[in-house]
Amino acid sequence: MRLRMTVMAGLATLAGSIGLYPLFESGGWFWAGVGAVLAVAGGGVLARRLRLPAPVNLLFGLAGLVLYLNLVYASGQAWLGIIPSPESVGHLGDLSDSGWRAANRYAAPVPVLPGIELMTAAGIGLVAVLVDLLAVRLRRAAPAGLPLLAMYSVPAAVREDGVSWLAFGVGALGFLALLMADAREQVGGWGRTVTSFRQRDVPLAGADPRPDEGSALPDAAALAASGRRIAAGAVAIAVLVPAAVPGLQPRGMFGLGGDGGGGTQTVTTPDPLVSLKRELTRLDDSIVLTYRTNDPEAPDYLRLYALDKFEGDRWTYTQLDSHPSDRLDERDIPSPPGLSVASSREVTTRVQVRPEVRDMSFLPVPYAPSDVSISGDWRVDERSLMIYSLRDSADGRAYTVTSRRAEPTIGQLAAAGNHPAEIVSRYTAVPKNVPREVRQLAEQVTAGSATALSQAVRLQRWFTLSGGFTYDLSAPAPKHGSDLVDFLLHSKRGYCEQFAASMALMARILGIPSRVAMGYTSGSEVRPGQWVVRSRDAHAWPELYFDGTGWVRFEPTPSGAGGQGTAATPEYSLPESTGGGSEGSDSAPAPETSSPADNQAPAPQPSARGRNDTGETGGAAAQDDEDGGFSAAPWLAGAVLILLLLAVPMALRTFTRRRRWAALMSPSLSPSRTRTRTRPGAPPGAAVRAPSPDPAGAAHAAWREMRADALDHGLEWRASDSPRATARRLGELLELDGEVEQALTRIARAEELARYSLSRSPEPPERLRADVRTVRDAFAASVGRGTRWRARLLPPSTMAQTLTTLQSAGNRALDAKARLNDLPARLRRK
């Protein structure tokens, strides 16, 4: 029964579960986990007492867990208070459903509600089942650390702070204790310790030559002490070294650092443009945030970053040195540069970030923010007005933003005067390694423009209409200066990063201050004043500076069905005439005589996904309809899909085999591969050309089939060997009998004649096909059961072809989904 190991496995699971503490407000969840571990241990002990196989040990552990959950959370509906009944199972499902919604509604730490407690006990119990199976039943204690590590991944993914060093140390010591107990049992199973007397000193004359009674025993205490020192040292290194590495702990070792003393901290974040590509290509298209606004028009974009520095191959922002005085609760947000009150209006936006969002240390806000109401340590960069935090995250938070939205007129932008010297020096810098072709292209596209506005409009129009560009999410992100040249002059395929980066760079070449902003488009309106922003709404766009108006947005990325679906072109960038006066050369008509409103993304209809897509931003409780419940239908559908995917290699192998032999009897054969026969009842001389199998083709088909069968059964196949050498090596390797050896020899001889001789193979296709089946059966008989099943279900000869097919099917499915999503917009335009 291995009672000692059972106890150690349970203690290791409980020690690892301590790492879940940051997720909960109180400690009631832990005692629920203790009960689940005890129930699983009891099921495992019973299975080992009955000497049942390992899979049954797993089932007994799961049964113990189910009985425990049924007793604690659904005893009123169970038979005799413990035996599961349909009513008790339904109650557990309802409780899990409520726990699932609550877990998605609240940000960590969450209250220990009954549903959340049930899900936590079930999760700890499942980990206990795996640890008991691996460490106790299968005697593999080291792999048991993987399910224990999975429990640490949950708080690490949910909370920015992760798990404290003390909780990690407790879990690590529990795992090490499990390893030590397993090692002690395995060594003890070898039998009594074999010892030898050890002479430390040569005995003196007349002394008793017999050693001391204790000297006959090994020095176990010293070995145990060495093991403990190694274990303690390993845990200490794992905890202390990451905490001491600069940059991994922004608040210092053990969280004791920070800027409490009034120092300066450097703000470091992942590459924003890498995060942009990841968001745009996510398959789930999940909701990032919802918001309400009092803006009577379509809301402006939500900006996260302002990338002001071009390094020759990519855009990034200047390093932010954060001071304690930058906190929002200690200062007012600076006025946006160049934006006057006369050319702007005030907008209030209430934002609710979804709890599923991770590590959002920069706030998405409409530009330009003048006041942000949010709890926590949030700061503002004076130059870019980016709102960020060194320790907090926006995950699951709600906040209110008051911003000044620019409302420039065409005349104001066209009449913008000289820019301030600081703006010019900072936002028109261009590296010397920018190719000459790009500089010439910028001047060529804007030739004849008299104002900065007309130049910007012509650049935008060139990217969206006349330049021949195509929106393509599969395009790689630019990594070198040559990638930019290729996008502008050759491929002309990319997504918003390439469009925004290229227009901002060309604007700087023309002397217009510019930068690249990154964040989200305004999203989709689901109710009046209420909007939803999804991961596919992630976007990058250029911002150009005009004196008197400040930073204004342009949109060079194609929008609608053929581009970024929710991108919208600003009205001031589509004027009928940008030059002013009588300069007709500056004329830049709007695309296809459409009004600016036509270029806005159409307001989507309410979602048909069976649930509300937004929820209420004013309170978390109103998001129940949006989150949906915990339903078994998606899991069943997913299981069916997985089974279908697993069946693809087997089906493809069968199809390939049948097609290979069927091709030999194809009616579309050349005259040299057909024979003439007389049809019954036909007049004399009338003949019909009937298909005749090609001997060379049959030999090649048999050889390819045998090669695929050998690879499927894990046998070595040397491409450099001749057919005769291959047959001889396989015969010696498998020790084939007479009939199988003759079949193998016939296949090899037929291939040899078809490959090296002009004479035809004497073997008919039916005989070769039967020989292939005989050899295949011999291959299967020479390997183990696992290899035979792999050859049937996941044949290696077709796995590469299967992966290619699945990837192609996935790409086609994504394209079809994009077309369906854009279908309403295309119908409206018609």
For 190-199, the pLDDT digits (tens) are 666 555 444 4
pLDDT at 68: 93
Q: Mean pLDDT over residues 793-802, rounded?
A: 72
Q: What letter represents residue 782's amino acid?
A: S
**Residue 221 pLDDT > 90, yes or no?**
no
Interior angle at CA 646, CA 123 and CA 148, nearest 5? 25
Q: What share of the chain is helix, strand, coil (3-state, %, to 5)?
A: 50, 15, 35
The dihedral built from the CA positions of residue 91, 96, 97 and 103, taken in this order, carries a sign that is: positive
**Residue 183 pLDDT > 70, yes or no?**
yes
pLDDT at 742: 85
- Distance, in Å, from the CA atom of 463 to the CA atom of 502, rounded to the nearest integer, reads 9
- Distance, in Å, from the CA atom of 662 to the CA atom of 664, rounded to the nearest integer, reads 5
- Distance, in Å, from the CA atom of 533 to the CA atom of 537, rounded to the nearest integer, reads 6
pLDDT at 783: 84
- Distance, in Å, from the CA atom of 608 to the CA atom of 478, rounded to the nearest integer, reads 37
45-63 pLDDT, tens digit each? 998 888 888 888 899 999 9
**Dihedral, CA atoms, 474, 476, 482, 485, nearest 10 degrees?**
30
Three-class SS of 302-338: EEEEEECEECCCCEECCCEEECHHHEHHHCCCCCCCC
Q: What is the DSSP letter of 463?
A: I
**Dihedral, CA atoms, 109, 114, 116, 119, nearest 10 degrees?**
150
Nearest of 306, 4, 21 to residue 163 by alpha carbon: 21
Nearest of 328, 430, 318 to residue 384 by alpha carbon: 318
Dig out the tokens for 424 from the structure: 């010019």
Q: 572 and 344 in contact (C-beta within 8 Å)?
A: no
The H helix count followed by the E strand count for the chain is 23, 21
pLDDT at 615: 38
For every residue of 88-134, DSSP letters joined together read: HHHHHHHHHHHHHHHHHHSPSSBP--HHHHHHHHHHHHHHHHHHIII
Nearest of 544, 534, 391, 334 to residue 456 by alpha carbon: 544
Q: Mean pLDDT over residues 687-707, rounded?
A: 71
Other CB atoms within 10 A of residue 829 CB: 11
724-764 pLDDT, tens digit each? 888 888 887 877 778 888 888 888 888 888 887 755 666 78
Nearest of 182, 174, 172, 184 to residue 233 by alpha carbon: 172
Q: Cα-flanking dihedrals φ and ψ of residue 214, to 5°?
A: -80, -15
- Decide which of 292 and 760 is more confident: 292
**Residue 597 pLDDT > 50, yes or no?**
no
602-620 pLDDT, tens digit each? 433 333 333 333 333 333 3
- Distance, in Å, from the CA atom of 390 to the CA atom of 399, rounded to the nearest integer, reads 17
pLDDT at 371: 92
Q: 420 and 405 in contact (C-beta within 8 Å)?
A: no
Q: Mean pLDDT over residues 227-243, rounded?
A: 65
157-166 pLDDT, tens digit each? 666 556 777 8
356-408 pLDDT, tens digit each? 887 788 999 999 899 999 988 899 988 889 999 888 888 889 999 999 988 88
Other CB atoms within 10 A of residue 646 CB: 12
**Residue 681 pLDDT > 60, yes or no?**
no
pLDDT band at 214 (very low <50, low <70, confident <90, very high): very low
Contacts of 40 (CB under 8 A, 6+ apart): 10, 61, 64, 65, 125, 128, 129, 132
Q: Cα-flanking dihedrals φ and ψ of residue 302, to 5°?
A: -105, 115
The dihedral built from the CA positions of residue 84, 87, 93 and 95, taken in this order, carries a sign that is: negative
Q: What letter represents residue 60's amino acid?
A: F
| Portion of the chain with pLDDT greater than 70, in percent | 71
Give every strand in the sheet of 514-520, ordered side by side: 365-366, 302-307, 514-520, 538-546, 550-553
Dig out the tokens for 679 from the structure: 């049809």
Q: Which residues pair with 351 in a beta bridge?
A: 291, 399
- Distance, in Å, from the CA atom of 20 to the CA atom of 155, rounded to the nearest integer, reads 6
Q: Mean pLDDT over residues 80-98, rounded?
A: 87
pLDDT at 340: 78
- Distance, in Å, from the CA atom of 329 to the CA atom of 325, rounded to the nearest integer, reads 9
Instruction: For strands 315-316 and 378-380, give the pairing.
Output: unpaired
Q: Give the burial class of 248: count Cβ atoms within 10 A of its Cβ; 0-12 exposed, 13-18 middle, 19 or more buried.
A: exposed
- Note the helical H segments in 663-722: 695-712
Q: Cα-flanking dihedrals φ and ψ of residue 84, to 5°?
A: -65, 140
Q: 822 and 604 in contact (C-beta within 8 Å)?
A: no
Strands (E) located in 189-325: 265-267, 287-293, 302-307, 309-310, 315-316, 320-322
pLDDT at 526: 87
Q: 372 and 388 in contact (C-beta within 8 Å)?
A: no
SS3 of residue 569 by DSSP: coil
**Residue 545 pLDDT > 90, yes or no?**
yes
pLDDT at 292: 93
End-to-end CA distance of the chain: 74
SS3 of residue 231 by DSSP: helix
250-263 pLDDT, tens digit each? 444 444 444 444 55
Q: Give the burial class of 720: count Cβ atoms within 10 A of its Cβ; 0-12 exposed, 13-18 middle, 19 or more buried.
A: exposed
Nearest of 87, 105, 92 to residue 628 by alpha carbon: 105
- Distance, in Å, from the CA atom of 94 to the CA atom of 73, rounded to the nearest integer, reads 11
